[in-house]
Structure 1
Amino acid sequence: MKVLGLSPLDKDATVSIVEDGVIIYAAGEERFSRVKQQDGFPYEAIQKALDYTGTKIEDIDVVSYPFMPWEKEQELFTANMQVEQDFIANFKGNGLATQVKAAKKNIPQRTEGVHGLKDPNEKMDKGLLKRAYFRLAGATPAFSKLAAKKASQRWSDNALASFKQWQQELDKGLKSLGLEGKLKRIDHHLSHAANSFYASGYEKALCITLDGYGTGLAGSISIGSEGKIKRIHGVKFPYSLGSFYEQVTSCLGFKPSRHEGKIVGLASYGDPEILSDILLSRFIQQDGDIKMYEANNVYFSRYLAAHFPKIDVAAAYQKVLEVVATNFVQHWVEETGIDTVVLSGGVTANVKLNQRIFEIEGVKQMFVYPNMGDGGCGTGAALYHSWPGGVKPSISNAYFGPDFTEQEIIAELEKANLSYTRPDNLAAEVAAHIHGGAVVARFDGRMEYGPRALGNRTIMYHAREPEVNQWLNKRLGRTEFMPFAPVTLYEARKRYYHNIKGAEHTAEFMTVTFDCTDEMKRDCPAAVHVDGTARPQLIKREVNPGYYDIIKEYEKLSGISSLINTSFNMHEEPIVCSPYDAVRAFLLGNLDWLAIGPFLVKHPESKAV
């Protein structure tokens, strides 16, 4: 059976073609439109998928979409919101004013700077009137409950309008392609559970999903066994850890659903203890469930951000996310006795959270789906509807997008008047340039699917120089406090990372952090975050020989088995897709060298040797 999977259209619209449980193509519309997290019906991505795979419209048996009709979604979240109002009315708080007054006394005087912040104790300064309103709507019980109620109603109204809009666009798009009669819908969290379980290769696993909202839920627990998935618990929206983290992202001045990773980076500089008890007091966890007081009241986080340093707010939200989520997972690990977990949903993009889940006593193996956010739901839905039964091997890579011919590459190089060579040993030359201090972009093979650059659309640099986090981020227009991630030879994993056994495979997709060994800290300080962790991509030669060979040649020169790997794109742009995109980003980013296909190109203005 051949299934066309479409992710939700509201953001990061992504197309997948899955045949009998095998992913043969997957790519986001953003890679072709060049608009980050492109929404709407993915006309271009569908056409690219059909052309690349040689699929005709009549070859498609099913179109799978990971949401119910708008009427069903409305029914579910409306009922949930009514239950939430009863919870808010009966919630007994701990005296927020007293807690905040005590917390303020614990703010330290800091002198060591944080790159990207003007002052280490920098707060969100919104002016006197807004600060007063945040206090009223976010921290004064009688008014905050009213604000929370209005926020939930506003969310419901916006969600209803959104579901109606995207359903109309879905119907219109499918009709234009002659596919309107082949649509099958699937529960949103089931699509998340399906992508993580079916891609894992495990015979049996505890499927954990956590996100913002999906078909009435913000999370779920299922048991995957022998090719079948059975849900045993759902966390009802609005008690959403996704929304919880979106609120801190927004209150600190970043874009929700896009910049949550910046909060993870920022959190390592702060003291989580200053505010974590205040945040934890708003949660109730019983019998493996999660409830959160005033879950939709955005003014509470804004109130905290106006009175406490950004780094301490970020640190507290990160810690509380970890505490609540690990309590949730640990309950179900103990309840079911299953020691293998698979994760999906936007919350599991949080690599530090994934480390904490893997560290739970009783968890021996873990797999995180490489495209864990909603962009991966289309693949999960397609896997579910095309699964032939039984167990298949895990996916070995996420190179599911398009590739390009040498002729197409040459055409773009010549259009840009760039000189190029075709080295006999490209890997050795690239490694030598990196060893000598050059920044090298790599463009080769099929494009990665999902949010991570995994070698085929990657920028590489040696990790010996801690200062690279400032100057290379600045060159690429990125936030300075964000750490770079390393790519590491698979066989060197135990030399560089603690407690990696059981998570090696998911580390091939750069989806979890580990505590670094002293050797890693010494050899690759630029890839080790301030908290002593790194988010590696482990690379095997059989998965990507050209990429592997570069790191292996670098190891011969330096004795070091890791390099920095960061995504090949300009700030706020999608990862490059085509040779044109690669040449453009190479020139705009003032990178020293471009390894594109079998060719090597030096930047016209580079002084690197």
Structure 2
Amino acid sequence: MITVGYNGFTGSAELFGRLYRRAGRDRNRVLGHDAGACVFVDGELVAAVEEERLSRRKRTSDFPVRALEWCLRDAEIEPDDVDHYAFPWDFSDRVMDEQLGDIVAGPGSAADKFDALARLSELYTSLVSREAVLADLRDRTGVAVPAEKLLLVPHHLAHLMCGHYLSGGGDAAFLVTDGRAEHHSSITGEVRDGRITVFEESAIPIRHSLGLLYSKVTRYLGFMPNNDEYKVMGLSAFASAPAGVNPLLQHVVKLLPGGRYELSFDNVLLDTQSYYACFDRIFDRQGPRDDWDFQVRVARWAQDTVEAVTAHQLAHLETRTSLPRLLVEGGVALNCVNNTKLLERSSFTELDVSFGASDPGVAIGAGFYPCFLAGKRPRGAATPYLGPSYGSGAAEAALRAVGDRVRWERLPREQLIARTARLLREKVVVGWFRGRVEYGPRALGHRSILANPSFPDIRDIINIRVKKRETFRPFAPMVLESVAPRVFEMGKKKTSPHMTFVFPVKKEYGDLASGAIHVDGTGRIQTISAQQEPALAELLRIFEQETGVPCLLNTSFNVAEEPIVSSPEDALRCFLGTAMDHLVLEDFLVRKIER
């Protein structure tokens, strides 16, 4: 069986911009963001790439034409050979009846309700109905896909299936929580004996979405919603202690029995920032919203709210399941600070968060769902390295195209790794480009920027001179899986290969890893094994042997507001446009020609 999973709508951004004023800072608050595609063959994920890596439009919501074409070509599959095209949104008649009922029964005048109904009608008929999705698929691929081959998968189910597949399958409880799905923002339940059970009493409607509340705080603080929430998470660490009574938990969020909760204002689609006045009042704003102390305090309240609410959900989930393993998926699962606390403070012995936990993963989840229904179980080791690879020939051609600006030498792998380790003894920044493109929002060692974390100011050097972004932003320590427990307090976790958890650094290693450790003494680590990634494992081994430093600083190979690089041309453009010192491009070691 061959299945294609994909996410993205033609014209989603334009339609939301016109109907719901989603432009500029709000441009990512649309359906279909993080568009991508994947291919499964007999239950095995063989190819996946996000559209942004190929189109170079960050977090695009457009139909993934390039991604889909590449996946089919890489898997050597013709479009007509596909058994199912699976799409991670299902605005069924039942869902639409619920949305229509919410509008009719909700607050507002008759004119307001008719206006909301008109907007919803256009959204449905032109974008999310089965007919519209099928027409989009046919128009953008040029393939007359039979209607029966299109499978619409509920959004939260797609999130769940992504986590289920990438964790190797098996029984597990689950918490899926994000900004919004078709009608809900969070669900809990179990996957047991090949069956999915949703605990309906704990489902949270969109109007009470925790993810959208965090998104509102993100926008209120001057950042881009549905994009910069990790900045708020990072800022929260600068408040060393809870900043008094949390006004969000006091005035906005109400915890209810059964793991449920409610918000005091609705998360409506037509959002005109009317909540700013509410936030000004409850946060007791006296000066500008971009005041550092104010931002740090509000960020801490927002972070504490996420932790309190999800802990409340888990407390109820623990009463409903006897399973020891938990899957956490959805956009809120990118809050790696929260993930660690959820595991350590619960009775679950394992907690898995996939590299596709946010919306890039719903293409994978949708693609696997037909396999799950057919009784197939995950095959092969789950790897994030699923995208295009370019090889030495393409790398050399790209180098020759900019030959007057760089010098390069081709080296055997052993020499390349040894030379790179030697370079990293100094205060330098090295671009690392090898193999297939990673899937998901994290750079996991194939499109990374590496540095020696023992230099305390290396963080500022990279943030200012290379990444061109805020100086408070932390980086990730990359560490051998066998070394990680010696350096970090990992609690119940044995590995963390996808940067989805944070751990305190042990005191004796704080100085050696200072450039990759956040202000609160924690690191969002990536563990590396020789089986998973032999070249990086060897680099880390030699680097520690020569320096005594047990980890490397790892951050994504891009600059602010651009997607992670994909091709050799992307890598060279970024390398030459920033203050990076060296570049490993496949098996070439590259440096700039000083002018």
- Same fold judged by TM-score > 0.5? yes
- The aligned residue for residue 434 of structure 2 is 444
**Pick aligned residue for 1:48 from 47, 70, 74:** 70
Q: Which runs of 5+ in 2 are unaligned?
A: 10-31, 268-273, 288-293
1:569-588 equivalence runs, <5 A: 569-588=558-577
Percent of matched pairs sharing the same residue:
28
Change (3 A) 1:404 1:161: same
Q: Could you say what secondary structure the match of 2:164 adopts? A: helix
1:265-304 equivalence runs, <5 A: 265-270=234-239, 271-282=241-252, 283-296=254-267, 298-299=275-276, 300-301=278-279, 303=281, 304=283
- The aligned residue for residue 138 of structure 1 is none
The C-alpha deviation readout for 1:384-409, integer Å capped at 9, x for no partner, is 11235364467442001110121111
Q: Could you say what secondary structure the match of 1:522 adopts? A: coil
**Pick aligned residue for 2:544 from 551, 555, 568:** 555
Counterparts of 1:174 and 1:154 in 2: how far apart (Å)?
Answer: 31
Give the superposition deviation at 1:203: 2.2
The C-alpha deviation readout for 1:407-459, integer Å capped at 9, x for no partner, is 11100000011321122311111011011222111111110000000000000
Question: Are the counterparts in 2 of residues 340 and 365 from structure 1 also a CA contact under 8 Å?
Answer: yes
- The aligned residue for residue 134 of structure 1 is none
Change (3 A) 1:216 1:464: same
The C-alpha deviation readout for 1:151-183, integer Å capped at 9, x for no partner, is 999888766644544333652333422225221
- Farther-moved stretch of structure 1 (409-418 vs 357-366): 357-366
**Pick aligned residue for 1:480 from 471, 477, 481:** 471
Counterparts of 2:199 and 2:421 in 1: how far apart (Å)?
Answer: 50
Aligned partner letter, 2:461 = W
- The aligned residue for residue 290 of structure 2 is none
Change (3 A) 1:280 1:527: farther
Question: Are the counterparts in 1 of residues 481 and 527 from structure 2 also a CA contact under 8 Å?
Answer: yes
**Pick aligned residue for 2:312 from 290, 302, 327:** 327
- The aligned residue for residue 126 of structure 1 is none
Aligned partner letter, 1:193 = L
**Pick aligned residue for 1:27 from 30, 49, 61:** 49
Question: Are the counterparts in 2 of residues 274 and 312 from structure 1 also a CA contact under 8 Å?
Answer: no
- The aligned residue for residue 482 of structure 2 is 491
Q: Could you say what secondary structure the match of 1:177 adopts? A: coil
Aligned residues: 543
Question: Are the counterparts in 2 of residues 80 and 236 from structure 1 also a CA contact under 8 Å?
Answer: no
- The aligned residue for residue 421 of structure 1 is 409
Q: Could you say what secondary structure the match of 1:327 adopts? A: helix
Counterparts of 1:545 and 1:155 in 2: how far apart (Å)?
Answer: 55
Give the superposition deviation at 1:330: 2.1
Change (3 A) 1:64 1:331: same
Q: Could you say what secondary structure the match of 2:86 adopts? A: strand
Counterparts of 1:441 and 1:150 in 2: how far apart (Å)?
Answer: 56
- Farther-moved stretch of structure 1 (533-542 vs 273-282): 273-282
- The aligned residue for residue 389 of structure 1 is 375
- The aligned residue for residue 28 of structure 2 is none
Question: Are the counterparts in 2 of residues 226 and 391 from structure 1 also a CA contact under 8 Å?
Answer: no
Answering whether residue 367 of structure 2 is matched by residue 400 of structure 1, we say no
Change (3 A) 1:211 1:319: same
**Pick aligned residue for 2:137 from 168, 173, 190:** 173
Question: Are the counterparts in 1 of residues 334 and 358 from structure 2 also a CA contact under 8 Å?
Answer: yes
Counterparts of 2:365 and 2:138 in 1: how far apart (Å)?
Answer: 19
Aligned partner letter, 1:419 = R
- The aligned residue for residue 192 of structure 1 is 159
Question: Are the counterparts in 1 of residues 391 and 435 from structure 2 also a CA contact under 8 Å?
Answer: no
- The aligned residue for residue 209 of structure 1 is 176
Question: Are the counterparts in 2 of residues 279 and 317 from structure 1 also a CA contact under 8 Å?
Answer: no
Q: Could you say what secondary structure the match of 1:421 adopts? A: strand
Q: Could you say what secondary structure the match of 1:565 adopts? A: strand
Question: Are the counterparts in 1 of residues 248 and 301 from structure 2 also a CA contact under 8 Å?
Answer: no
Counterparts of 2:515 and 2:106 in 1: how far apart (Å)?
Answer: 46
Q: For the aligned residues, what is the CA RMSD?
A: 2.5
The C-alpha deviation readout for 1:250-307, integer Å capped at 9, x for no partner, is 0001111111110011111135333514434432321121222114263323553844
Q: Please, what TM-score do these two structures have when normalized by structure 2?
A: 0.86
Counterparts of 1:293 and 1:310 in 2: how far apart (Å)?
Answer: 22
Give the superposition deviation at 1:43: 1.0
Answering whether residue 333 of structure 2 is matched by residue 348 of structure 1, we say yes
- The aligned residue for residue 207 of structure 2 is 238
Answering whether residue 61 of structure 2 is matched by residue 68 of structure 1, we say no
Aligned partner letter, 1:352 = V
Q: Please, what TM-score do these two structures have when normalized by structure 1?
A: 0.84
Change (3 A) 1:278 1:256: closer
**Pick aligned residue for 1:527 from 498, 503, 516:** 516
Counterparts of 1:68 and 1:318 in 2: how far apart (Å)?
Answer: 31
Give the superposition deviation at 1:235: 1.6
- Farther-moved stretch of structure 1 (25-34 vs 3-12): 3-12
Q: Could you say what secondary structure the match of 1:212 adopts? A: coil
Change (3 A) 1:605 1:158: farther
Answering whether residue 2 of structure 2 is matched by residue 16 of structure 1, we say no
- The aligned residue for residue 7 of structure 1 is 7
Q: Could you say what secondary structure the match of 1:315 adopts? A: helix
- The aligned residue for residue 106 of structure 1 is none
1:121-160 equivalence runs, <5 A: none
Change (3 A) 1:30 1:429: same
- The aligned residue for residue 465 of structure 1 is 455
Aligned partner letter, 1:11 = H
The C-alpha deviation readout for 1:574-603, integer Å capped at 9, x for no partner, is 000111101111111221111011110012
Change (3 A) 1:267 1:394: farther
- Farther-moved stretch of structure 1 (463-472 vs 410-419): 463-472
Question: Are the counterparts in 2 of residues 275 and 312 from structure 1 also a CA contact under 8 Å?
Answer: no
Question: Are the counterparts in 1 of residues 248 and 305 from structure 2 also a CA contact under 8 Å?
Answer: no
The C-alpha deviation readout for 1:87-141, integer Å capped at 9, x for no partner, is xxxxxxxxxxxxxxxxxxxxxxxxxxxxxxxxxxxxxxxxxxxxxxxxxxxxxxx
Q: Which runs of 5+ in 1 are unaligned?
A: 86-145
Question: Are the counterparts in 2 of residues 540 and 548 from structure 1 also a CA contact under 8 Å?
Answer: yes
Aligned partner letter, 1:30 = E
The C-alpha deviation readout for 1:173-204, integer Å capped at 9, x for no partner, is 33422225221101111111111122212521
Question: Are the counterparts in 2 of residues 412 and 579 from structure 1 also a CA contact under 8 Å?
Answer: yes
Change (3 A) 1:228 1:191: same
- Farther-moved stretch of structure 1 (344-353 vs 230-239): 230-239
Q: Could you say what secondary structure the match of 1:414 adopts? A: helix
Change (3 A) 1:293 1:445: same
Question: Are the counterparts in 1 of residues 248 and 302 from structure 2 also a CA contact under 8 Å?
Answer: no
Question: Are the counterparts in 2 of residues 198 and 394 from structure 1 also a CA contact under 8 Å?
Answer: no
The C-alpha deviation readout for 1:465-505, integer Å capped at 9, x for no partner, is 2222222101121111111111111001111221343x334
